[in-house]
Structure 1
């Protein structure tokens, strides 16, 4: 075992504080990564505060991890010491079910092992995430970073926000000629706008805030619709082929579903703490619309996303913070006071 240091929540009602723990030594197929930057996801806050009622304490959040390989096992073939590498939301899975064999480990039929908080189904192992100085992961779940090194901090959020939006856009074959709605302009939404635009789609951003208009257009949206305005919403009726809904708070889905054309699909990627109101079934039936969900992406698809983003010059818009600012960052995140993702500079952990 080797000594590791990070920040952890010890209980739901306590702030994150410095925490010393142990990582395993690299086995034959393992890669040890010195963590340089870690993005801050809303899921980190949900977990630290036990809002999903499944947190194993102490909890070291963080699944948007980028760094440099510092050691490898003797059977590792895909990485060498000094390589830039990333870790997303998954550090293991059963590897045997149909989903794992298809490269869709996010849908592992026995539950993938999360980068933090153990098994997705509440297993007894407590995995520790990226709010730390190092991590050891089987090379099968480690990702190659091909962006320039000076972009590394802004690459970190791609490991969750990037793949969470890329996966449904790719699965539903968004491309040139597609008319795509993006609901919400936060950590996920701003990535959805960038990626959909790079895929060749015409992008319409739905927001409750008029003051998001200028930024949405800068990021690649062709139109901005204030969803609180009935006239603006009515003007979009039956126009869109696809909607990616990134909002993580319960809201009425019917007005958004009505902007879908026949055979259009709205995919939910935001995870609200309480359910959305049930949509009107006739709004789905009468134009053969679909309402679906999507969860992150598998390792193969995450690597594909990273390479797509590198080719198109896509990174996240970030604000860098110190490790000891994480509790303030959580409060700001709850207020939407970040454009658009906090990233922790892990060099500050040593202080």
Structure 2
């Protein structure tokens, strides 16, 4: 004999079984509709990076892996390293033409077509990595960039950031502006156009040609990325002066660029997945660099790297020259002006804020580190 408040296990199990069957039936009925929204798709991705740069190239592999997992293998993007399908600096062209559906690249590689390309990634004395992400995701930056890319048959989503890069490896010390005159520096794009006005002779060399050119003295300096990537290339052996900061790459954003027609033909569920996955990879790349660079910089110093800051004189001259170039572009290139105006407005407020909390906290903690209290 049981009271009405006592637990009736048999009745509960009966109800649970019936309810479970009904739920399963509902799932079975819904499955065909979901399957229709998730067709089988196979795309190819061409990267602008070699496999040896595992942190940057790895972003393309992460996209492929995460998308395959999220769709049960129905949406597959196969990544190819630079040169396997098309040359590194033609990745966006291949996607625009439709021969490849997506690429993983950096906008400033296409600076020669139109300087506006670089604004989606980075230009000298622009925003830091956190600033670029804030502007891209919440300041309309991604929409502005896609407006620019629209007539190029491209749609871009942020897909990584290295953080502020190093200023490069030099065979001799660079103390004054006069030391820049005649310097054969492997640097391109926007930075090259700025430095050229200060007497530098910009050079364009493939990655495999840099070391022998430095060793022979036909090249005086090179910039690459930062400690983790640079260490693999052995530049410390032939150009020991390691300068900082890389003022031309304060927060270089990498992008996944999709063929616009292919992007627009995707079901909404796939578009949503790609947006989420790309944003995750964007964050993941910066986190990896923040984790790997501290160890790499210590190892490079142990190997003989001599860290040197660019002098205030050099930085000020580069800053003023950059502003002169920007003024010229704003006057002649409406597309550049529209995006640059947006970045400048946010840059002003962003550095107003970061100097209050972030700067003071970091500076205090750096003093503790230098006093061996951490």
Q: Give TM-score, length-normalised by structure 1.
A: 0.29
Structure number, greater radius of gyration = 2
Bigger RCO (CA 8 Å, 6+ sep): 2
More strand per residue: 1 or 2?
A: 1
